[in-house]
Amino acid sequence: MAVRIRMKRFGSKNRPQWRIVVSDARMPRDGRFIEEVGYYDALPKEDIFVVKQDRLDYWVKQGAQMSVALKSLLRRQKRKTRKSA
């Protein structure tokens, strides 16, 4: 089974929010998933981005592939934390 770590959209019309989930690659974007490992909300002034890093690392070690959008968000989050430190 090919496993992907990607974002699942939820929220209302014109107010999207995203859950970061581990799912089978054959499932639709908003379909069934194995585990939720975080969430992302881009609309507030400061983006809200929360990830369970230990679970994310576990799934990557198991061979799960991250989506391009999620990789980009993680890179951007790391840059923000380096600048603020």
pLDDT tens for the 85 residues of the chain, in order: 799 999 999 999 999 999 999 999 998 888 889 999 999 998 888 889 999 999 999 999 999 999 999 999 999 888 877 776 6
* Three-state secondary structure call for residue 18: strand
Residue 24 carries which side chain, given as an amino acid letter?
A: D
pTM for the predicted model, two decimal places: 0.85
Query: How much is the pLDDT for 8?
Result: 94
pLDDT at 84: 66
Fold of the 3-84 domain: S16 Ribosomal Protein; Chain: A; (3.30.1320)
Helix (H) or strand (E) holding 19: strand 15-24
Query: What is the model's pLDDT at position 82?
Result: 75
pLDDT at 31 (0 to 100): 87
Q: Where are the domains of the chain?
A: 3-84
How many other C-beta atoms are found inside a 10 Å radius of the C-beta of residue 12? 7
